[in-house]
Amino acid sequence: MIWFGDPVITLLSFLCLFILLALIKIFQTMVDSKSHSKFARFAGNQRRPSYRLVHGSTKEIVSMKNEAMGRPLNLSHDIQSTVQPHIHSWTKIYGRSFLQWYGTQAQLVIGGPELWKEILNNKERAYPKREPPPYVKKLLGDGLASTEGEKWGKLRKLANHAFHGDILRVSYADLQWKDHEGKEIEVFEEFRLLTSEVVSRTAFGSSYLEGKNVFEMLMKLFFFIFKHNFKLRFPGISKFFKTSNEVESKKIEKGIRYSILEIVKKREEKATSGGEDGFGSDFLGLLVKARHDANDKQRISVDYLVDECKTLYFAGQETTNTLLAWTVFLLAFHTDWQFEL
């Protein structure tokens, strides 16, 4: 009886598994067809990479990125094949505009200056900003880079008031470039120190050393998130079961928030003790002042204040640092470009 039952159970198990896989395949086809029809009109019926249930196009993207990062980088200004290998490859196959999938989320890749101009010239707000991916939320929160509407206008007004040519020139004039005459220098590191100091002095009225901890934690969080940002999880699971990666990133986030609030606390104590300039005229001072505004419509929350500081620290410093280093590298490699500037 036992020997008769085992093959039957095994056969039934394989049959159930086959039916389950068939149902998943049918469901995948239905979802793919339905989702594609939803975006077909907007996407102009463009050809697109294949869609996989749950994963979308992410497995292909990760595979291409890993392969590209494993190759030596050529000394060329054309780096798209390394930075965005999937877009570099798919534009050749599917055209300049195509549909790709980040998990279950459809993303329309737009190519061509005409379409870029139409989207960027978004006066009628026909193209709202999409909800930032989770890893961007961790880095920048709801800062200026991810907001729109009235909130964006309010934060942009504060930023415009704090960042103008005169303040930036004064900040730069105060900085002293280290004496490396006759010595080899690490240009990227020097630019990191320079941009960190400029952002700290201009935005926060403090020295680089005071914000050093925030810079280091933001960079640690960035590399940590960049390493894991294509790992998909089913919605709702992360609320109940935290991976070691999520626990570590959350710990870093809390450390960043604490450090920023400590800087804010010092500014508030200075204003309370009767300091000459109150909360200060720099960007942080304007944010703290807006935090204590008597007008409810103009007042900002502590979360907004922290997110704006994170945005300025990371987006302001890191992007400028990378751009400066890359520009100097290209000018040094292509000496003829220097005469065209």
My answer on whether 253 and 201 are in the same domain is yes
Instruction: Specify if 3 maps to a domain.
Output: no
My answer on whether 299 and 187 are in the same domain is yes
CB atoms within 10 A of CB 267: 22
Across 3-21, average pLDDT: 69
Q: Which domain holds residue 333?
A: 138-340
Among 94, 127, 160, residue at a domain's last position:
127
Instruction: Specify if 10 maps to a domain.
Output: no
List, for residues 51-82, the tens digit of each pLDDT value. 777 677 888 888 888 888 888 877 776 788 88
Among 83, 103, 127, residue at a domain's last position:
127
List, for residues 80-127, the tens digit of each pLDDT value. 888 889 999 998 888 888 888 877 778 888 888 888 888 878 777 777
My answer on whether 164 and 111 are in the same domain is no
Among 13, 50, 46, 49, which Cα is nearest to 28's?
50
Residues 142/307, Cβ–Cβ less than 8 Å: yes
Name, in order, each residue with C-beta under 8 angstroms of 50's C-beta and a sequence gap of 6 or more: 57, 60
- The DSSP-derived string for 128-194 is PPPPPPHHHHHHHTTSTTT--HHHHHHHHHHHHHH--HHHHHHHHHH------TTS---HHHHHHHH
My answer on whether 292 and 209 are in the same domain is yes
Instruction: Specify if 2 maps to a domain.
Output: no
Number of H helices, E strands in the chain: 15, 2
Instruction: Specify if 113 maps to a domain.
Output: yes
My answer on whether 117 and 151 are in the same domain is no
My answer on whether 122 and 192 are in the same domain is no
| Structural tokens at position 225 | 């998130």
Q: pTM of the entire structure?
A: 0.62
- Cα radius of gyration (the chain): 26
List, for residues 263-319, the tens digit of each pLDDT value. 888 888 888 877 656 777 777 888 888 888 888 777 888 888 888 888 877 777 778
My answer on whether 177 and 318 are in the same domain is yes
Among 76, 95, 127, residue at a domain's last position:
127
The per-residue pLDDT for 29 is: 55
Residue that has been written with the tokens 């055209």 in this structure: 95
Residues 199/325, Cβ–Cβ less than 8 Å: no
Could you tell me how far CA 287 lies from the centroid of its own chain? 22
My answer on whether 123 and 90 are in the same domain is yes
Of the ranges 112-121, 188-197, 200-209, 300-309, which one carries the lowest mean pLDDT score? 200-209
Instruction: Specify if 200 maps to a domain.
Output: yes
My answer on whether 41 and 80 are in the same domain is yes
My answer on whether 175 and 296 are in the same domain is yes
Instruction: Specify if 224 maps to a domain.
Output: yes
Count up the domains in the chain and report the number: 2
Average pLDDT, the chain: 74
My answer on whether 171 and 244 are in the same domain is yes
Instruction: Specify if 330 maps to a domain.
Output: yes
Cα–Cα distance, 136 to 96 (Å, whole number): 26
| Structural tokens at position 265 | 């606390």
Q: What is the CATH number of the domain that holds 153?
A: 1.10.630.10
Instruction: Specify if 223 maps to a domain.
Output: yes
My answer on whether 47 and 96 are in the same domain is yes
The per-residue pLDDT for 3 is: 46
Instruction: Report residue 4's pLDDT band, with 50, 70 and 90 as the boundaries.
Output: very low
